[in-house]
Amino acid sequence: MEFRRVRRWFVRCIPVAAIGGAFFLCLAPNARAQTFPFGSELLLDADPMRGSKKIPILDISTAEIELWCNSVKAQLVVAADTITIITGKMSARQCPPDPARADDELLAALNQVTKWRMEDFALVFTGGTTLRFRVQTN
């Protein structure tokens, strides 16, 4: 008699526990897998340089990076939360010294990137330096 009561109680609790566990997983911050924003155009989270309105753009759909002055084609290799950015040859636009130096620094930082994550509406690269690119909303 006692065994039947325990069994009924146990059978009734299983669905409640399963629903509770699923609910907890949905609310856990890192429980859901992040998806890389393929096909997106992202804007570097930085102010424009003095005398310019241009901000670097990472166009993932064509794997092109518009730097402060020049641009470069790139290949992005993504596996889980790991990323490798392989950059090609930089375009040969005539640039003032400050944007040219900033291009070299940003390109070096992108080549050192090893991890990525999404934070709100920003793609964050980490490695040697942390870089934030905001998803374009226009």
Are residues 96 and 85 in contact, defined by beta-carbon separation less than 8 angstroms?
no
Phi, psi at residue 12, to the nearest 5°? -75, -30
Number of domains in the chain: 2
- Give the pLDDT of residue 62: 82
- From the list 128, 74, 129, 70, the residue with the least C-alpha distance to 99 is 70
CATH number for 45: 2.40.128.270
- The end-to-end CA distance of the chain, in Å, is 68
Q: Is the pLDDT score of 104 beyond 90?
A: yes
- Give the pLDDT of residue 19: 47
Do 22 and 57 lie in a common domain? Answer: no
Do 50 and 86 lie in a common domain? Answer: yes
Model pTM above 0.85: no
For the segment 73-96, what is each residue's pLDDT rounded down to a tens digit?
Answer: 999 999 999 999 999 999 989 999
Question: Mean pLDDT throughout 46-59?
Answer: 92
Where in the sequence is the domain holding 123, given as residue range(s)? 41-135
CB atoms within 10 A of CB 79: 8
Do 15 and 82 lie in a common domain? Answer: no
- Give the pLDDT of residue 48: 94
* Strand spans (E) along the chain: 41-44, 57-59, 64-66, 71-79, 82-90, 115-119, 122-126, 131-135
Do 61 and 93 lie in a common domain? Answer: yes
Question: Mean pLDDT throughout 100-121?
Answer: 93
